[in-house]
Structure 1
Amino acid sequence: MSFEKNLDKYAKLAVKVGVNIQEGQILLVRSPIECAPFVRKVIKHAYEAGAKNVHIEWSDEECTLLKYLHAPDETFNEFPKWISDQYVDIAKEGGAFLTVYAQNPDLLKDVDPQRVANFQKASGIALKEWRSYTLSDKCKWSIVSIPTEAWATKVFPNVSTDEAIDKLWDAIFKCTRVDNEDPVDAWKKHNADLKSRMDFLNNKNFQTLKFKSSKTDLTMELPEGHIWLSGASKDPNGIDFNANIPTEEVFSMPHKFKVNGIVHSTKPLVYGGNIIDDFSLTFKDGKIVDFTAEKGAETLGKLIDTDEGSHYLGEVALVPFRSPISDTNIVFFNTLFDENASCHFAIGSAYNTCIKNGDDIKDDDLDKYGVNSSLTHVDFMIGSNDMNIVGITHEGEEVQVFKDGNWAF
């Protein structure tokens, strides 16, 4: 009964805090078929919240793998137009999008990386218009995760499948604050705390951030007019939503051409059904000019070469080393969780909401403002317990932002 109660609270949290469904709104849920029991609860809460209609887009990883192994090469150079049209139509109608992300981290490890790269690029092109809605908060969207057998046994390989799933559920309930009596209220307080960090950074209006740890030594300038944002966002009607559950980050955008130095990953990155681990990126004038990886080097190279924008950064996010997620001491092999246990950057597109009047900047003028644009946006983790971050204001004042991995204020 306790598990069923928490599962129901989690579904309600996804609806009320994640996408925050309003009366008469459409919801599209994208989910693996294994997560159907959770999705059914989401549907119930969505209709109780006043949803006009809930559409479901099911996926199955075994079918995905069969496609990658046996379909002809040309299959991966195209993306179904009817899917992208559906997403855009729902966004234009003011609909919301909930994604249940529960990927097997090793799903495509035996697949030709070029096939994966080709489809990532094709889908990026096809979904560009829809992503313009999510990147600028023109529609409400959210991501949550549910244990599956493949994911749970990757995280907990030394126990039975059932025990691994139970342990992952316990961790998810803790990290998402579902273990509170009233998770919705707990998230209101959490969002308020994140907002106080956001307000501090916006008031300081730093020109430069310097990241220094045993493995990272990087200087990053921020564009003029940059804006720091935190967990809760607002749609065009001023309705709050949380794009990520969980979230512990305060984030903005680096200047596209003003990042210099070396950064080293501190957690594995799962990308395109493969794991990239123990990797470094070297930047000169914003561009990735060199990289290394102990695992997944070819996949990392394909990611960087997606397009011109994927050679630059689009996001900088500050996350304390001490957080509910980090305190579990679990490597989740799931970016939604791992990125919220660690400071992170993102290769690829910036969020238009992270710069003043971002929606009004024409594509041809993005470089002038230092805003990166790309077909992709992939977060990778760089935080550690020895990470120190110093902010430098336009007046030359130096402020300790992070000390030994945690907020210094």
Structure 2
Amino acid sequence: MHDPRLDELANVLTTHSTKVQPGEFVLIEGIDIPQEMVIALIRSVRSAGGIPLVELKQNRIQREIILGGDDAGIKLIGEYEIYRMKKVQAYIGIRGSHNITEMSDVPSEALQRYQKHWSRPLNDIRVPQTKWVVLRWPHPAMAQQAKMSTEAFEDYYFDVCTLDYSRMEQAMVPLKSLMEETDEVHIVGEDTDLRFSIKDISVIPCAGEYNIPDGECFTSPVRDSVNGTIHFNTPTIYQGTTFTDIRLRFEGGKIVEASANNTERLNAILDTDEGARYIGEFAIAFNPYIINPMLDILFDEKIAGSFHFTPGQAYEEADNGNRSAVHWDMVMIQTPEHGGGEMFFDGNLIRKDGQFVHPALKGLNPENLR
């Protein structure tokens, strides 16, 4: 039986996120997702007057290609996908995973080859040159991560992904303005005392245009301005490996000390290139339906009362000049259940224990966005 929620989600992706126009080419990329969702997207794109192109992938096949690929082969795949990306005006990527640790045994050298010759060059075209949106698909593996039944998680997923993003968009306007006026950000919390500048760097509000689910406002720190320590209290998966208890110490913008449950692998990733030890993104999150981590960054980076701090590549829209093959969103939750914390802009308290206290920003608190 057809699930009408597929049509509702497809409509959000084509009319709100990518705003497909007549005659536009739209690349639909699905990784381990049901055919029914792909068909709903094809029909929605056509309904908007667009021309759909489809690429279907599987994570196990991706793993095998990356695992045994050499520079020439991986580079050719990257060049092929870049050529196609340059021909489209919009990109919709839905990424499922039957096994979230599928890449965990792929050597770091192979993953770095993939990032250097395929992933990063492709993203360097997709992000600035297309209207794009990326989201996860609710496989049972995600339900396990969220510690929910498959049915309950699917209901939660569609609620989160189809909320009223237009209301969120309006509530973000004061935060964007305040961040644009701010020089120093000071964040304190459990084992955390961090200072950095965001002066004169663009601020980008995100309300369902690029990621679903959404709910963040991001910029990047002045590259050499980050000083202090931070202890991330949210688990994270990167290149198939799960990391917990990540602690970073900064001097002059650079990560000079890093530890975690897997310190050796953490530092290997941070040594990918020079830019991997500098920060490329700072974002404040406020999705009212996402309150607990589930080891999926597209959800975890939107947790209400959290922020993320990202070693590696800066986005062109909020560019501090940092360049890297790495872009690793690390999340700290500051709600009371996770230890609390405070965020200051130029010495003024903006958020305490995950709740906005500045009068102009209270519209972003969960009770006002649901």
TM-score greater than 0.5 by the shorter chain: yes
Residues 37-74 of structure 1: per-residue CA shift (max 9 Å, x gap) = 2122111101111112x222222233345557xx54xx
CA contact (8 A) 2:111 2:239 kept: no
Find the counterpart in structure 2 of residue 146 from structure 1: 137
Q: In 2 relative to 1, CA 334–216 (structure 1 residues): closer, same or farther, beyond 3 Å?
A: same
Pair 1:316 & 2:286 matched = no
CA contact (8 A) 1:141 1:243 kept: yes
AA paired with 1:390?
F
The Cα shift of 1:79 comes to 5.3
Corresponding residue SS for 1:378:
coil
AA paired with 1:99?
G
Distance (Å, rounded) in 2 between the aligned partners of 1:130 and 1:62 = 20
AA paired with 2:59?
E
AA paired with 2:56?
W
The Cα shift of 1:288 comes to 0.8
Gaps of 5+ in 1: 233-240, 356-369, 393-397
Pair 1:98 & 2:92 matched = yes
* Equivalent residues in 2 for 1:171-210, closer than 5 Å: 171-176=156-161, 178=162, 186-202=164-180, 205-210=181-186
Out of 150, 155, 164, which is 2:146 matched to?
155
Aligned length: 351
CA contact (8 A) 1:26 1:51 kept: yes
The Cα shift of 1:314 comes to 0.4
Q: In 2 relative to 1, CA 265–376 (structure 1 residues): closer, same or farther, beyond 3 Å?
A: same
* Equivalent residues in 2 for 1:4-43, closer than 5 Å: 4-43=3-42
Find the counterpart in structure 2 of residue 247 from structure 1: 214
Distance (Å, rounded) in 2 between the aligned partners of 1:80 and 1:125 = 6
AA paired with 1:168?
F
The Cα shift of 1:310 comes to 0.5
The Cα shift of 1:376 comes to 2.2
Out of 177, 189, 202, which is 1:227 matched to?
202
CA contact (8 A) 2:140 2:150 kept: yes
Corresponding residue SS for 1:377:
coil
The Cα shift of 1:107 comes to 2.0
Out of 95, 102, 106, which is 1:107 matched to?
102
Residues 158-180 of structure 1: per-residue CA shift (max 9 Å, x gap) = x7xxxx3212212212222x2xx
Distance (Å, rounded) in 2 between the aligned partners of 1:33 and 1:211 = 39
Distance (Å, rounded) in 1 between the aligned partners of 2:63 and 2:55 = 18
Residues 243-279 of structure 1: per-residue CA shift (max 9 Å, x gap) = 1111111110101111011111121111112211121
Find the counterpart in structure 2 of residue 169 from structure 1: 154
Distance (Å, rounded) in 2 between the aligned partners of 1:338 and 1:281 = 19
Find the counterpart in structure 2 of residue 361 from structure 1: none
Find the counterpart in structure 2 of residue 59 from structure 1: 57
Pair 1:372 & 2:364 matched = no
Corresponding residue SS for 2:133:
strand
The Cα shift of 1:96 comes to 1.3
The Cα shift of 1:353 comes to 1.6
Pair 1:216 & 2:205 matched = no
CA contact (8 A) 1:217 1:261 kept: yes
% identity of equivalent residues = 23
CA contact (8 A) 1:77 1:118 kept: no
CA contact (8 A) 2:187 2:193 kept: yes
Give the structure-2-normalised TM-score: 0.86
The Cα shift of 1:8 comes to 1.6
CA contact (8 A) 2:234 2:245 kept: yes
The Cα shift of 1:196 comes to 3.0
Cα RMSD (Å) of the superposition? 2.4
Find the counterpart in structure 1 of residue 342 from structure 2: 388
The list of structure 1 runs, each at least 4 consecutive aligned residues, that deviate by more than 6 angstroms after superposition, is none
Distance (Å, rounded) in 2 between the aligned partners of 1:281 and 1:343 = 15
Find the counterpart in structure 1 of residue 315 from structure 2: 351
Distance (Å, rounded) in 1 between the aligned partners of 2:79 and 2:71 = 18
Residues 282-331 of structure 1: per-residue CA shift (max 9 Å, x gap) = 1111111111112x4343223211111011100000124x72211xx3x2
The Cα shift of 1:29 comes to 1.9
Gaps of 5+ in 2: 359-370
Q: In 2 relative to 1, CA 348–261 (structure 1 residues): closer, same or farther, beyond 3 Å?
A: same
Q: In 2 relative to 1, CA 83–406 (structure 1 residues): closer, same or farther, beyond 3 Å?
A: farther
Distance (Å, rounded) in 2 between the aligned partners of 1:339 and 1:76 = 33
CA contact (8 A) 1:142 1:244 kept: yes
